[in-house]
Chain A
Amino acid sequence: MSSYNNSACYSEARRVAIFGGTHGNEMSGVTLVNLWMKNSAEVQRKRVETKPFITNPKAVEKCTRYVDTDLNRAFTPENLSAPGGDDLPYEVQRAQEINRIFGPKGSPEAYDVIFDLHNTTSNMGCTLILESSKDHFNLQMMNYIKKAIAPASCLVLLNEHPLLKYSTSRSVAKHPVGLEVGPQPQGVLRSNIFEAMRVILKHALDFIELFNEGMEFPPCTVEVFRVSERIDYPRDANGNIIAMVHPNLQDGDWEPLNPGDPMFQTFDGKTIHYQGSGTVYPTFINEAAYYEKQQAFVTTRRETLVASAIRKA
């Protein structure tokens, strides 16, 4: 990236990957990628090589999130360089393989863009996940997508938190983009969720095509929700959950949660209130996969980011 006349220049996004099945039971991505591996016409664009790819085939076959360990947490520097070959956990082996094909992570040879397709049991609607507030290419893409699907909504979750950030499959690319669409139960394919994800990808690829053709995108602002804190369920001394997400909070992703608002409900009906210092915007509320990660929901703060104008180098 270089700067000229206040425009940030990025190299042409020639190599794009679409990952499905990073979690084997998140069915929209599995189904879309399988479809496009058979016939990729829908995802091809001029000047772009688009590769649909199933990242965790064993988990997809078993219709389970992962086999040994969460693939979407596995792309740490330690894992990517770990010796041991076949003795390594399956997903660590997969991470190394994916890093070989689409990376190496951090190098000039890495893929330009990776879209990683996910579903959530949370009522998050269409969400784009951003890993860096300084990625103007991604910010412009997300702005383009939001405008293209309006009045339908697509929100941007920014996870740049030094402690809560994690090493995703898509982080192998120069511009990692997470697509998270819900609510959908694990193992279930809902038509509306599937079609929504398909439409977002269409606009994302259109953006890349326009960018590669030389279109300049003027500066813009993008509203994002920045990850702040992870909140766990109340548990007893043995680690068992002793309260549920409160009915008032359940399905309230992206709605303001104020100090004093109901947050959890015990099994005999008592309310536990949110005790934070200010209003937050909760998301990933009651995601099935996060019970084992000690997370009932995540709090975010609203922020407006400014994206520079961008054009291809």
Chain B
Amino acid sequence: MAAIEEGKVSDGLAGPLDQMECVSFPPVNRFAICGGTHGNETSGVYMVREMQKQKIEKVGSVSITTVLSNPRAVDACKRYTETDLNRCFTDALLSAPITDSTPYELRRAHELNAQLGPKGSEEAVDLLCDLHNTTANMGLCLIFYSLDWITLHIYKYIQSKITSVPVRAIQLDIAPSEAYSLEAVGKHGFAFEVGPQPNGVLRADIFNMVKEGVDLTIEWLQQFNSGSTFEGGEVEAFTFAKSVDYPRDPATSEIAAAIHPQLQDNDFKLLRPGDPIFLSFSGETVKHEGEELYPFFVNECAYYEKKTAFHLARKSTLTFPSIRVKKD
């Protein structure tokens, strides 16, 4: 997996970017699609169920494993039962011994790591795609915890084909050992995050977007494996900078303001100093201060308990080389 650092390529294939040659990778044959990592994010749940009903296990050169990540949470239609499954995949948590007091989701994380990983090993699936929904107005996002050419090309491909909604890339930049989410288990991985959709609701338009994203990923994999060269280029990505919490009552910790109507539903619209961000219950406006940044996950339901009203990101341009499959 290649990492990007200030425009340098540090994967041993050498050469500054402007002299980048086509990079070759082994075929991406084993593809895992996971849904229901959060039990109330329905697109992934129904996508996985449909694929299992249709017995979709192989499409051309790609063998597909579909997994319902958190069945107990899915049955209860809750995000999780004891702890957030999608925070359980750090190296430390995956190597901790299981005891009687280990929460259900951590046990599931160990099971998923055994089935689709182990994380960091040769046996791990080649590509893991985890399906999520958000209550925020984010359209279709691909979330990368680290960058590599394979996932960037998949993003570029999907972005070129889907025109009904904005398709964006979010980079969280976390070292592999600290990467806490499910897609870190695969050799390559990313999450689809599609919204807005309320928890527990299945919207046809949102489901169809997720389905299209998955179908295009499979399409790309087939083309890649069969020898197509994918032209490199540049894409814009949003890189996580920081989180902003709600104003809270100092005595009770209860929130004291709502996301301002001018920020609500305006994910990825540049926030400038002086722009309104919160409207208090007594009518005062709180304004953004500091750097110009891009808000995302604006008013995500699950983040109230994580003390986040929205995240802020910088926009960066990522340059990547052409790639094709390594021929034996």
Q: Mark B43-72, 1 if CB is under 8 A from A, else 0.
A: 000100110000000000000000000000
Q: Determine if A286 and B261 form an interchain contact, defined as CB atoms under 8 angstroms apart.
A: no
Q: Determine if A247 and B205 form an interchain contact, defined as CB atoms under 8 angstroms apart.
A: yes
Q: Determine if A185 and B135 form an interchain contact, defined as CB atoms under 8 angstroms apart.
A: yes
The CA of A162 and the CA of B207, in the complex, are separated in Å by 36
Q: Determine if A190 and B299 form an interchain contact, defined as CB atoms under 8 angstroms apart.
A: yes
Q: Determine if B202 and A241 form an interchain contact, defined as CB atoms under 8 angstroms apart.
A: yes
Q: Determine if B299 and A288 form an interchain contact, defined as CB atoms under 8 angstroms apart.
A: no
Q: Determine if B49 and A186 form an interchain contact, defined as CB atoms under 8 angstroms apart.
A: no
Within 8 A of A (CB), among B184-205: 196-205
Decide if the interface of chain A is mainly helix, strand, loop or mixed: loop
Say whether A191 faces chain B, with CB atoms less than 8 Å apart.
yes
Q: Determine if B258 and A121 form an interchain contact, defined as CB atoms under 8 angstroms apart.
A: no
Within 8 A of B (CB), among A256-304: 265, 267-269, 286, 288-289, 291
Chain A residues with CB under 8 Å of B204's CB are 244-247, 250, 265
The listed residue with most A CB atoms (<10 A of its CB), out of B46, B77, B200, is: B200
The CA of A188 and the CA of B246, in the complex, are separated in Å by 13
Chain B residues with CB under 8 Å of A268's CB are 50
The CA of A35 and the CA of B203, in the complex, are separated in Å by 33
Q: Determine if B260 and A189 form an interchain contact, defined as CB atoms under 8 angstroms apart.
A: no
Chain A's nearest CB lies how many Å from the CB of B266? 13
Chain A residues with CB under 8 Å of B135's CB are 185, 187-188
Q: A244-B204, A267-B207 are in contact. Are A185 and B255 (CB under 8 A)?
A: no
Interface size class of A (residues with CB under 8 A): 20 to 34
Q: Determine if A185 and B203 form an interchain contact, defined as CB atoms under 8 angstroms apart.
A: no
Q: A185-B198, A187-B304 are in contact. Are A244 and B207 (CB under 8 A)?
A: yes
The CA of A286 and the CA of B200, in the complex, are separated in Å by 10
The CA of A246 and the CA of B264, in the complex, are separated in Å by 26
Q: Determine if B261 and A288 form an interchain contact, defined as CB atoms under 8 angstroms apart.
A: no
Within 8 A of B (CB), among A41-65: 63
Q: Determine if A31 and B200 form an interchain contact, defined as CB atoms under 8 angstroms apart.
A: no
Chain A residues with CB under 8 Å of B299's CB are 188-190
Say whether A192 faces chain B, with CB atoms less than 8 Å apart.
yes
The CA of A187 and the CA of B135, in the complex, are separated in Å by 10
Chain B residues with CB under 8 Å of A240's CB are 49
Interface size class of B (residues with CB under 8 A): 20 to 34
Within 8 A of A (CB), among B246-274: 254-255, 258-261, 264
Chain B residues with CB under 8 Å of A76's CB are none
What residue of chain A has the Cβ atom nearest to residue B47's Cβ? A267
Q: Determine if A267 and B46 form an interchain contact, defined as CB atoms under 8 angstroms apart.
A: yes
The listed residue with most B CB atoms (<10 A of its CB), out of A184, A187, A194, A286, is: A187
What residue of chain A has the Cβ atom nearest to residue B198's Cβ? A185
The CA of A288 and the CA of B135, in the complex, are separated in Å by 13
Say whether B301 faces chain A, with CB atoms less than 8 Å apart.
yes
Say whether A79 faces chain B, with CB atoms less than 8 Å apart.
no
Q: Determine if B281 and A31 form an interchain contact, defined as CB atoms under 8 angstroms apart.
A: yes
Chain B residues with CB under 8 Å of A186's CB are 198-200, 301
Chain A's nearest CB lies how many Å from the CB of B300? 8
Say whether B131 faces chain A, with CB atoms less than 8 Å apart.
no
Partner of A191, one of B46, B202, B254, B279: B279
Partner of A288, one of B196, B199, B254, B304: B199
The CA of A304 and the CA of B318, in the complex, are separated in Å by 61
- Which A residues are closer than 8 A to B by beta carbons? 31, 34-35, 63, 121, 183-192, 194, 240-241, 244-247, 250, 265, 267-269, 286, 288-289, 291
**27 intermolecular pairs with C-beta atoms under 8 Å apart:** A121-B198, A183-B198, A185-B197, A186-B198, A186-B200, A187-B135, A187-B301, A188-B198, A188-B301, A189-B258, A189-B299, A190-B258, A190-B259, A190-B299, A191-B260, A194-B258, A241-B46, A241-B202, A244-B203, A244-B204, A246-B204, A267-B50, A267-B211, A288-B198, A288-B200, A291-B77, A291-B200
- Which B residues are closer than 8 A to A by beta carbons? 46, 49-50, 77, 135, 196-205, 207-208, 211, 254-255, 258-261, 264, 279, 281, 299, 301-302, 304
Contacts A190-B264, A245-B204 aside, 11 further interface pairs with beta carbons under 8 A come to A34-B254, A185-B197, A185-B201, A187-B199, A187-B301, A187-B302, A187-B304, A189-B255, A189-B258, A250-B205, A286-B202
Top 9 nearest A-B pairs (CB, nearest first) are A185-B198, A191-B258, A288-B200, A244-B204, A187-B301, A121-B198, A185-B135, A267-B50, A288-B201
